[in-house]
């Protein structure tokens, strides 16, 4: 019985396999003669093996089958057709072709590479760069430079407002410093009412002259997201990489997806960045009315040196964008220095002040000593105020301190004092 059950299981499996073959033949719409030419010989070979054998294996155990049982009797009839002389030519072509969309230049589009999303600023930048590159048939370095020019022209009104506000603040700087010094001294000596008074006076003075220090921050705030979007867009395009960018450079940097092996692009980028910060093109020179603002200028000037070790390994495309941005900033500053242009945009002439009015620079060591002494003095004032407040509260809670020899409220003590 055990051998018969195993035989039925094997027979069932062969029926299932045959059914699958029949289903595949009908689903793929293959010619009957073509499929039978491949399947029938194999099936007949299997059947003949089982008919000639008296035993099969099941789970590594030898099972003897009765000789009367024939597998062929339990299989469905298979139509036998003549074998094809060249069956390969009649078989269907199952190779699928992947269609990659190309642009006008015959290059794969950025969308086909997973770039150029329509929902992020990075994708917008990539689409703009691709539009300029394809429609004007320009190399990638030129497309990046033209895109920088367009963006900086759109931000030019902010540059004009920034220049106008910074020049106005510079022209009234001596008066502002005078009020600021009075306010700082009042804070140092703990006179908060006087400090608030001078602070209100300074706010009114700036409002009358139409200046606001916060306006100088507008341009960097708008430039920061634009710079980050361009940086990430070019970095992703170099990481894929976009094949046309590997030959989209010029001169010594032909491949924009790799770093400049001569380090000339990072050097040009840092040099133009230093000149931009020096002339105050994007970040206007801070008024040197305090030690903190003066040394903020020194920190800004050191930035190009600090960033060079990082940008020297950037792809050349990013360095091309950064250098183009710095050069465009310098061009805008030079344009705004033309007298006719300044008159058209109502930018005042920059006045030259006496250094004594602006305050003489003491040097780094003296400035640090001055900052430390002012901090120490302010701390002492704050400590005195805290002790005075503590003494006042304590005096109201404890009994008065005895400062006399006898208590005049007691008559007996007064009499004894007179006798003595």
Question: Is residue 284 a contact partner of residue 214, using CB atoms and an 8 Å limit?
Answer: no
Q: Which residues contact 324 (CB under 8 A, 6 or more apart)?
A: 144, 145, 148, 149
Of 16-20, 46-50, 184-188, the range with the highest mean pLDDT is 184-188
- Count of Cβ atoms closer than 10 Å to residue 159 Cβ: 21
42 has a pLDDT exceeding 50: no
Q: What confidence tier does 256 reach under pLDDT thresholds 50, 70, 90?
A: very high
pLDDT tens, residue by residue, 223-241:
999 999 999 999 999 999 8
Give the per-residue pLDDT at 411: 64
Question: Is residue 366 a contact partner of residue 355, using CB atoms and an 8 Å limit?
Answer: no
Decide which of 188 and 220 is more confident.
220
pLDDT tens, residue by residue, 352-365:
777 665 555 556 66
Per-residue pLDDT, averaged over 145-161, amounts to 93
For 101, the token pair is: 């969309």
Cα–Cα distance for residue pair 302/319, rounded to 1 Å: 19
For 10, the token pair is: 């094997």
- Burial annotation 379-400 (CB, 10 A radius, 16+ → b, else e): eeeeeeeeeeeeeeeeeeeeee
Question: Is residue 207 a contact partner of residue 287, using CB atoms and an 8 Å limit?
Answer: no
Cα–Cα distance for residue pair 383/225, rounded to 1 Å: 45
Q: Is 190 left (phi over 0), alpha (psi -120 to 50) or beta?
A: left
Give the per-residue pLDDT at 387: 85
Residue carrying the six token digits 């400062």: 403
Cα–Cα distance for residue pair 169/254, rounded to 1 Å: 46
Question: Is residue 329 a contact partner of residue 276, using CB atoms and an 8 Å limit?
Answer: yes
Backbone phi, psi, residue 250, to 5°: -155, 170
Give the per-residue pLDDT at 320: 95
Give the per-residue pLDDT at 123: 94
In residues, how long is the chain? 420
Residue carrying the six token digits 């106005």: 168
pLDDT tens, residue by residue, 275-330:
888 876 555 554 544 555 666 777 777 888 889 998 999 999 999 999 999 999 99
Give the per-residue pLDDT at 155: 92
Closest CA to 282 of 350, 226, 345, 217: 217
Question: Is residue 126 a contact partner of residue 105, using CB atoms and an 8 Å limit?
Answer: no
């Amino acid at each position: 019985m055990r051998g018969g059950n195993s035989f039925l299981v094997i027979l069932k499996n062969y029926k299932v396999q045959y059914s699958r073959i029949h289903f595949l033949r009908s689903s793929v719409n293959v010619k009957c003669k073509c499929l039978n030419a491949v399947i029938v010989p194999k099936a007949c070979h299997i059947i003949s093996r089982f008919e000639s054998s008296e035993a099969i294996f099941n789970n590594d155990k030898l099972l003897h089958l009765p000789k009367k049982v024939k597998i062929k009797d339990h299989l469905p009839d298979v139509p036998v057709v003549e074998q094809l002389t060249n069956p390969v030519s009649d078989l269907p072509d199952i190779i699928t072709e992947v269609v990659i969309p190309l642009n006008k230049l015959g290059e794969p589009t950025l969308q086909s590479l997973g770039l150029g999303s329509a929902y992020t600023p990075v994708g917008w930048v990539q689409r703009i760069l691709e539009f300029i590159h394809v429609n004007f048939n320009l190399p990638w370095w030129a497309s990046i430079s033209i895109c920088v020019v367009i963006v900086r022209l759109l931000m030019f009104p902010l540059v004009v407002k920034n220049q106008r506000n910074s020049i106005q603040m510079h022209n009234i700087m001596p008066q502002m410093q005078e009020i600021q010094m009075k306010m700082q001294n009042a804070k140092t000596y703990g006179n908060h009412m006087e400090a608030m008074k001078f602070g209100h006076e300074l706010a009114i003075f700036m409002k009358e002259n139409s200046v606001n220090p916060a306006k100088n921050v507008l341009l960097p705030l708008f430039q920061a997201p634009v710079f980050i979007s361009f940086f990430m867009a070019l970095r992703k395009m170099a990481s894929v990489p976009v094949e046309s960018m590997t030959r989209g450079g010029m001169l010594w940097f032909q491949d924009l997806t790799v770093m400049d092996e001569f380090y000339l692009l990072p050097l040009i980028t840092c040099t133009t960045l230093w000149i931009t910060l020096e002339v105050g093109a994007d970040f206007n020179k801070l008024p040197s009315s305090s030690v903190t603002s003066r040394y903020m200028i020194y920190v800004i000037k050191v930035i190009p040196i600090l960033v060079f070790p990082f940008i020297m390994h950037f792809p050349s495309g990013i360095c091309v964008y950064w250098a183009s941005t710095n050069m465009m900033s310098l061009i805008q500053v030079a344009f705004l220095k033309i007298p006719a242009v300044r008159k058209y945009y109502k930018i005042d002439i920059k006045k030259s002040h006496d250094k004594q009015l602006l305050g003489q620079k003491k040097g780094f060591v003296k400035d640090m000593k001055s900052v430390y002494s002012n901090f120490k003095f302010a701390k002492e004032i704050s400590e005195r105020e805290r002790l005075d407040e503590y003494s006042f509260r304590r005096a109201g809670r404890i009994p008065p301190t005895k400062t006399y020899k006898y208590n005049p409220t007691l008559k007996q003590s007064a009499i004894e004092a007179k006798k003595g």
